[in-house]
Structure 1
Amino acid sequence: MRVLLSTYGTRGDVVPLEALAVRLRALGAEVRMCTPPDEEFAERLAGIGVDMVPVGPPVREVMRGTSLPSAADLDRYRTEMVAAQFDALPAAARGCDALVAAGLAQIAARSVAEAAGIRYVYVSYAAVHLPSPHHAPPPRPGWPEPEASDNRTLWELDAHQVNAQFREPLNRHRRALGLPPVDNVRDHVLTDRPWLAADPVLGAWPRTPGLDVTQTGAWSQADERPLPADLTAFLDAGTPPVYVGFGSLRPSQDIGRKAIEAIRAQGYRALVSRGWADLEPIDDGDDCFAVGEVNHQRLFSRVAAVVHHGGAGTTVTAARAGAPQVVIPLQLSDNPYWAGRVTALGVGAAPDGPSPTAESLDVAFRTALAPGTRARAKELGGKIRTDGAAVAAGLLLDALR
């Protein structure tokens, strides 16, 4: 059997599909994957023996600034991505038995699968991306925030915005494939039977009429890499530090500085992850250390807390390690959702407002570093054990058989 996996986004979008690819290959399936053409993703896929099909521009180019591209640029990127997907996906899907797409940006994927006569599965990494009266839609960069107070109306307005951006180009390409037009683009992409690759303890799906959601658990794979010697030496030289990192996102350097100052104010050392933002210590103090790409699964078990932007992968990795969290959401996608889940579960805190102040960070750090929070984080970590990628691989191949 042969499976095509497809996504477009940062590392947080690609890595879960890598985990699924590894599990599928272990069960005897052939896998190829459509991703942005960034060198990092090409190297990662080559390392697990998966053929890469590049689609769209390098995502680092799109995310190159400390702020998101303008609304006009995002509109152009989105329109160009639809054309790029219809150019690349049909050939990539040739000979495949199924197409698994992650992320709403995969506008063309279901149509390509439909034209090829193969199974299509849509997967979300957070419940908040799926319509439900139990939560509001996530922020969608470049589009105006809908003005409504109830979640049902907000989701209706969200569907209108997706249609305004994508319905005309999608249906134009569908006509070329001999397919009927689509009325509701968002729900067409999601289907009425989507998968949710999120841990049910950390982010359960709220049962919602009209959607038959299969929650598999988060998709990740064990990382056995040792920590670098200089990092290990820093960890061994004192009490556990507080980790600060924002992954593939580029927050302002001001947020990094405020976080380090708040950590020091609580009497802790700081461990700064450079990430795509190239964060660095704010001075040459020996209580602050900077690292590049390292094994977070191993590292987070040795830190006092994890400060991050609220990505699905970082949230579940920190939770599995039993580490308290301070989530500074960058007000896009699922970041605010995961900040809310960490707070609701009592395993961390998030500063109030979109721009954290020294005072709000101080309150968040005091909460996260309190003994009760650490006890709850450790207890929660012991409950997160599902190998979601293995579950999903088994479900998919069973269905194809």
Structure 2
Amino acid sequence: MSTFQAPKGTYDLIPPNSAKYLAVREAIAAPLKNSGYGYIETPGFEDVALFARGVGESTDIVSKEMYAFETKGGDQLALRPEGTASVLRAALEANLHKAGSLPVKLWYSGSYYRYERPQKGRYRHFSQVGAEAIGAEDPALDAELIILADQAYRALGLRQFRILLNSLGCRECRPVYRDALQGFLRGLDLDEDTRARIELNPLRILDDKRADVQKQLVGAPLLRDYLCEACRTYHGEVRGLLGAAGVVYEDDEKLVRGLDYYTRTTFEFVHDGLGSQSAVGGGGRYDGLSEMIGGPALPSVGWALGVDRTVLALEAEGVELDIPAATSVFAVPIGDEARRVLFGVVTELRRAGVAADFSYGGKGLKAAMKAANRSGARYAIVAGERDLADGKVQLKDMESGEQGPVALDAVVEALSSRVLG
């Protein structure tokens, strides 16, 4: 065993389990690719100030969970704790908002890092697939993104998730609500850290999971009662579009999410089979983020779905993904001449688009057939000196056990038609 181990709170993805994570990423990405979203990839680290300004210095993510460090050149950098700020920074730097019609629609997939207390479903290194629609203020975009996430989860076979929906208002009406909420919270019996949050980020207290805090929040002012007419109308349109698309959601007046940049629409996907870490993804509208990080006014909306938690949700529901075997054909040579010939056959099969593997390491017939079984291949081709002298190989159907000779010069075509149809 190695003397080194993965750092605390992280994990390695290894076969066969990694195939499940790949399938989840692909399923989430599929409806995005089908809806005009282009792929973007950003660095794993950024300027600390990007997250401090964009995500918010008072958030737990920035103040407690961010991995920040100074480079040898004196730059202050941080491992990215979330994707939106990075994607918007990249879009602004590349002037994508000037390149054509808005919105700029982007999707991404990658690893993110937060210094969390490790537990099941909450890691210090985690994987997300995200989507952002940059540069347009339109309730249809908010609805589109929620519908696409719902579509992705349903395509995976998930059924026991819920969509929570709220509006956080805009820069006109939210300050009025913030004042009213602060006045209410100052009268509560709260610990010192939570009292400090009243001044910094009072909306986050609504999301506090502690029972003694939630009990005191009964009777707190509700944001919906403070929404301006424009925000009320906007939220009504989002709700109407979701309803017309047959997407079921629940109104949650306490849903605020953990980032400062959200405005108006905010939403969360939760799965009750995951215990305390029930959120599998979420997002919302962030109309002021571009200006916060030095760009022009670009109203935008997006989400990120956790790959790790989606896998846990699938396991909680007992959903088995239909993941095809990585190998369709496995070649078993007996002797040096067969090794040379079958290696050539495997190369031809791969060029024809057939997933093929080979018995490496000079194994005997018994060990090689065991390797063929383990590979999950549907077919095995076996050849020894006598077979090659007759210009044939033996083709075995690993499912039925049937075996018979096939002409060597016809085996690639025969297998291609069986595997590829």
In the superposition, the TM-score normalised over structure 1's length comes to 0.25
More strand per residue? 2
In the superposition, the TM-score normalised over structure 2's length comes to 0.24
